[in-house]
């Protein structure tokens, strides 16, 4: 069966081009560039790569970035004090805390410290609550990227059966809320779900955020399904695999994202978009 490859890299580029245009307009109107502050604690190599690519993306769209890097021994207070200072700093429009934080630090306390108006990751409980009620001004980047990809690929969301695999606060739950807002009938599956395949066989839309390499195979999917693979699983040979077994899934799916080159680039593009939204809102 011919499938549509959902090219996240190309679609993310389109989003970044539009943000670049808005950032330029913002500079013309205000005389300043939008600015993202990134907090990184510890020496997790993957986090370092993510922070570097976020800073690179800022430069690409014409925004400024500043990183605040701490050793893994940093105290929770030190991080929260830094966030409070950035909340007050008018030159900073967006604040991102790279997760995971070192184990002795409460993510909950740190994320709550970020001003809700600068919360470009959309993780503040206030923004999370607004997402559930009516849609938030700043919504989590990866879930927003998934919805963007589905729409761009031409998925008919209203009335579709959507299955989300994973119920984390950063991907599974928010993407389920967004699909519900698009009038999908949403089922959330997780590690205690029995017979995952039974749910998938009825799913027009699948968003997988479980973090299990190639766990979703073609025989589990409904013919023609739109499959968004959020998973990033590092393999022993150093490569990255998604949650979906691309080779078998593409024989059944109507449209599918690759890993890498699918949701990953969209996450960064949506972060740029959120920083732009935050800056525009702060300047009225
Ligand atoms: P979490 O570990 O927080 O959540 C994983 C979820 O998957 C949990 O809800 C868990 O269920 C569920 N799960 C685990 N095993 C199974 C199973 N066998 N069957 C069904 N459900 C299962 O991960 P995140 O949400 O943070 O991330 C998910 C994946 O997405 C990871 O691979 C991560 O690297 C990737 N990711 C990619 C991003 C991108 O930009 N592309 C951004 C963020 C994450 P339970 O709740 O019961 O434990």
- Residue 1 is predicted with a pLDDT of 67
Which atom of ligand 1 is found nearest the CA of 169?
25
Give bridge partners of residue 208 from the DSSP assignment.
165, 229
Instruction: Decide whether any atom of ligand 1 lies within 6 Å of the 211 Cβ.
Output: yes
Is residue 228 classed exposed, middle or buried when 0-12, 13-18 and 19+ CB atoms within 10 A define those classes? buried
Nearest 5 degrees, angle CA 143-CA 149-CA 153? 150
Mean pLDDT in the chain? 97
The dihedral of CA 45, 92, 14, 245: what is its sign? positive
Which of the listed residues 101, 140, 210 should we mutate to test ligand 1's pocket, taking the one with most ligand atoms within 8 A of CB? 210
> Which single residue is written with the structure tokens 């022993």?
236
Nearest 5 degrees, angle CA 59-CA 272-CA 9? 85
Which atom of ligand 1 is found nearest the CA of 268?
40
- Residue 10 is predicted with a pLDDT of 98
* The two three-digit tokens of residue 112, written as one number: 């709550």
Q: Which of 54, 116, 118, 173 is catalytic?
A: 54
Which CATH number applies to 32-117? 3.40.50.10860
Instruction: Decide whether any atom of ligand 1 lies within 6 Å of the 260 Cβ.
Output: no
Active site residue 121: yes
Instruction: Decide whether any atom of ligand 1 lies within 6 Å of the 233 Cβ.
Output: yes
Q: Which of 33, 35, 98, 245 is catalytic?
A: 98
Q: Which residues contact 262 (CB under 8 A, 6 or more apart)?
A: 6, 8, 149, 228, 229, 242
- What's the CA dihedral at 145, 281, 112, 179 to 10 degrees? -30
Q: Taking each helix axis from N to C terminus, what angle separates 8-30 and 141-152, rounded to the nearest 10 degrees? A: 120
Domain 141-264 belongs in CATH node 3.40.50.720: yes
Do 141-264 and 32-117 have the same topology in CATH? yes
**pLDDT of 257-274, one tens digit each?**
999 999 999 999 999 999
Identify the band that residue 284 occupies on the pLDDT scale cut at 50, 70 and 90: confident
pTM: 0.97
Active site residue 98: yes
Cα(115) to centroid(ligand 1), Å: 26
Give dist(CA 48, CA 221) in Å, integer.
Answer: 35
Task: Check pLDDT > 80 for residue 209.
Answer: yes
Where do the structural domains in the chain lie, given as residue ranges? 32-117, 141-264
Instruction: Decide whether any atom of ligand 1 lies within 6 Å of the 232 Cβ.
Output: yes
Instruction: Decide whether any atom of ligand 1 lies within 6 Å of the 172 Cβ.
Output: yes
Task: Check pLDDT > 80 for residue 169.
Answer: yes
**pLDDT of 29-77, one tens digit each?**
999 999 999 999 999 999 999 999 999 999 999 999 999 999 999 999 9
Active site residue 55: no
- Residue 274 is predicted with a pLDDT of 98
- Residue 39 is predicted with a pLDDT of 98
């Amino acid at each position: 069966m011919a499938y549509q490859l959902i090219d996240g890299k190309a679609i993310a580029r389109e989003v970044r081009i539009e943000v670049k245009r808005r950032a330029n307009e913002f500079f013309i109107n205000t005389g300043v560039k939008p600015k993202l502050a990134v907090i990184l604690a510890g020496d997790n190599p993957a986090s370092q790569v993510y922070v570097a690519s976020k800073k690179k993306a800022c430069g690409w769209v014409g925004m400024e970035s500043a990183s605040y890097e701490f050793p893994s021994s940093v105290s929770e207070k030190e991080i929260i004090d830094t966030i409070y200072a950035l909340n007050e700093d008018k030159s900073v429009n967006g604040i991102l805390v790279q997760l995971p934080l070192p184990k002795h630090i409460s993510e909950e306390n740190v994320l709550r410290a970020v001003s809700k108006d600068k919360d470009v990751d959309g993780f503040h409980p206030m923004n999370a609550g607004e997402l559930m009620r009516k849609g938030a001004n700043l919504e989590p980047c990866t879930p927003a990227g998934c919805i963007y990809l589905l729409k761009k690929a031409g998925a008919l969301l209203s009335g579709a059966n959507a299955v989300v695999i994973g119920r984390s606060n950063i991907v599974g739950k928010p993407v389920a809320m967004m699909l519900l807002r698009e009038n999908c009938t949403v089922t959330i599956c997780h590690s205690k779900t029995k017979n995952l395949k039974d749910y998938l066989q009825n799913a027009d839309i699948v968003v997988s955020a479980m973090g299990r390499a190639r766990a979703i195979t073609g025989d589990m999917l409904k013919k023609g399904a739109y499959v968004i693979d959020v998973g990033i699983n590092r393999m022993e040979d150093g490569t990255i695999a998604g949650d979906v077994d691309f080779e078998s899934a593409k024989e059944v799916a109507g449209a599918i994202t690759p890993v890498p080159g699918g949701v990953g680039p969209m996450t960064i593009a949506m972060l740029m978009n959120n920083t732009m939204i935050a800056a525009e809102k702060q300047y009225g």
